[in-house]
């Protein structure tokens, strides 16, 4: 293939590419390498977003395994990508545009990471080692900061600014709270040195965003393409990546998508085993990379997904923390659930309109039973509370899974 060759795919091809790319079973390290970035979100009714992303790809994954991968093995470090994310430590160099962007933004809000107060916090970390915001700086509240997102302590604002600017990193977490340390004490030797040109770093950020998603529309909304540069600059950088063969432009029935050579190559592989996409089932995270471009998902899969977690309860149609259910190359359902003290409670289960709960398609009950069993094992759950609306076959599949 030539570097700037434009490929044409059908929607069926695009669905097959995405399912094969994302859900080939992989080791934890391989899944991390394949995605390149995993969005972090602290909400955890059935595990955090990193948990849910990885359990859909890594056989035998258990809730919380990402913590050891990040803070024990250093396969991941806390950084910034689409939002707060987990990235590979060897790619820390590409964070530099984000760090500079955040530093400017904090300065506009009166917080300077070069101020004596900020430098004193860095010095405190250097002398005493990794510590949380409860142990660093002045713990007194500033009346001017009451009601702010980061709380009333000025030291906490400074620590967040230092983290955003790359002056401090997350060494580990204490009850979800960041324990801050110097980058050179968190990253592998030499990884904290960031002398790459802006274009190189931005190109890696653009390519990594596409890499995580598998297929991504340039026209996806701003939340999907949150980058430390204007969209016109992103397009220039993407054209550079296409010219170099690091990105490939696709036409999918009249819509432009970007993909990577690695993702496109899965269409050339003979992956016909059931677990490689034909009949396997996955419960997906609301912020799974496959779900980032919800307009693209609606176009390719005819699945209209809305995350209602921040809506008032009375305005929710589907539920609080709703997981899409992918069976083969189609979405068949979505469900709201929570896990507490070893009990999984399905608060609601919604079949897609083409699925009749009294007459499930052949193979679906068996796929559901297997996936439900794996999901319960991932959560360490031994008890189950089921809702109405499942239908007899699906209810029996869940009940058999828990046994």
Q: What is the mean pLDDT of residues 248-275?
A: 85
Is the predicted pLDDT of residue 152 greater than 70, yes or no?
Answer: no
Q: What is the mean pLDDT of residues 304-329?
A: 96
Q: What pLDDT, on a 0 to 100 scale, did the predictor assign at position 355?
A: 96
Q: What pLDDT, on a 0 to 100 scale, did the predictor assign at position 268?
A: 87
Q: How far apart are CA 155 and CA 122, in angstroms?
A: 11
Q: What is the mean pLDDT of residues 334-361?
A: 97
Is the predicted pLDDT of residue 273 greater than 60, yes or no?
Answer: no
Query: Residue 293: left (phi > 0), alpha (psi -120 to 50), or beta?
Result: beta
Buried b (16+ CB within 10 A) or exposed e, 104-138: eebeeeebebeeeebeebbebbeeeebbbbeebbe
E strands within 163-254? Answer: 169-174, 177-181, 215-216, 248-252
Q: What is the rounded average pLDDT for all residues in the chain?
A: 93
Is the predicted pLDDT of residue 272 greater than 50, yes or no?
Answer: no
Q: What pLDDT, on a 0 to 100 scale, did the predictor assign at position 279?
A: 61
Neighbours of 145 (CB within 10 A): 15
Q: What residue segments make up the domains of the chain, in order of their start?
A: 1-269, 306-402
pLDDT tens, residue by residue, 171-188? 999 988 999 999 999 998
Q: What pLDDT, on a 0 to 100 scale, did the predictor assign at position 138?
A: 79
- Give, for 386, the enclosing helix (H) or strand (E): none
Is the predicted pLDDT of residue 74 greater than 50, yes or no?
Answer: yes
Is residue 87 a contact partner of residue 79, using CB atoms and an 8 Å limit?
Answer: yes
Q: Would you place residue 1 in the very low, low, confident or very high pLDDT band (cuts 50, 70, 90)?
A: very low
Residues in the chain: 403
Q: Would you place residue 147 in the very low, low, confident or very high pLDDT band (cuts 50, 70, 90)?
A: low
Is residue 111 a contact partner of residue 142, using CB atoms and an 8 Å limit?
Answer: no
Is the predicted pLDDT of residue 139 greater than 80, yes or no?
Answer: no
Which range (127-141, 216-230, 347-361) has the least confidence?
127-141
Residue 213 in tokens? 């998603």
pLDDT tens, residue by residue, 382-401? 999 999 889 999 999 999 99
Which range (76-90, 151-165, 245-259) has the least confidence?
151-165
């Amino acid at each position: 293939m030539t570097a700037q060759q434009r490929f044409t795919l059908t929607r069926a091809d695009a669905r097959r590419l995405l399912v094969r790319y994302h859900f080939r079973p992989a080791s934890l390290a391989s899944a991390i390498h394949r995605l390149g970035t995993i969005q972090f979100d602290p909400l955890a009714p059935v595990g955090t977003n990193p948990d849910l992303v990885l359990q859909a790809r890594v056989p035998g994954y258990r809730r919380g395994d990402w913590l050891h991968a990040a803070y024990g093995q250093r396969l991941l470090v806390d950084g910034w990508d689409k939002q707060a994310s987990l990235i590979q430590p060897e790619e820390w160099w590409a964070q530099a545009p984000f760090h500079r962007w955040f530093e400017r933004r904090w300065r506009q809000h009166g917080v300077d990471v070069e101020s004596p107060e900020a430098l004193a916090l860095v010095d405190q970390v250097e002398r005493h080692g990794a510590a949380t915001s409860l142990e660093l700086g002045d713990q007194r509240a500033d009346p001017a900061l009451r009601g702010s997102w980061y709380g009333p302590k000025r030291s906490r604002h400074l620590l967040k600014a230092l983290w955003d600017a790359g002056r401090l990193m997350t060494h580990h977490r204490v009850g979800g709270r960041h324990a801050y340390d110097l980058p050179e004490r968190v990253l592998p030797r030499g990884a904290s040195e960031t002398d790459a040109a802006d274009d190189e770093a931005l190109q890696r950020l653009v390519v990594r965003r596409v890499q995580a998603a598998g297929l991504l529309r340039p026209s996806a909304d701003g939340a999907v393409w949150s980058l430390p540069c204007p969209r016109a600059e992103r397009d220039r950088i993407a054209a550079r990546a296409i010219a170099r063969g690091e990105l490939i432009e696709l036409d999918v029935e009249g819509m432009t998508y970007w993909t990577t050579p690695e993702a496109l190559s899965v269409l050339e592989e003979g992956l016909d085993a059931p677990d490689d996409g034909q009949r396997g089932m996955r419960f997906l995270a609301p912020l799974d990379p496959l779900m980032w471009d919800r307009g693209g998902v609606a176009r390719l899969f005819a699945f209209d997904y809305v995350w209602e977690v921040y809506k008032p309860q009375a305005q929710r149609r589907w539920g609080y923390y709703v997981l899409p259910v992918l069976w083969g190359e189609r979405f068949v359902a979505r469900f709201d659930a929570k896990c507490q003290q070893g009990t999984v409670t399905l608060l609601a289960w919604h079949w897609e309109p083409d699925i009749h709960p009294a007459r499930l398609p052949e193979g679906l009950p068996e796929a559901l039973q297997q996936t439900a069993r794996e999901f319960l094992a991932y959560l360490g759950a031994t008890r189950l509370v089921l809702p109405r609306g499942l239908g007899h076959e699906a209810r029996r599949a869940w009940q058999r899974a828990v046994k």
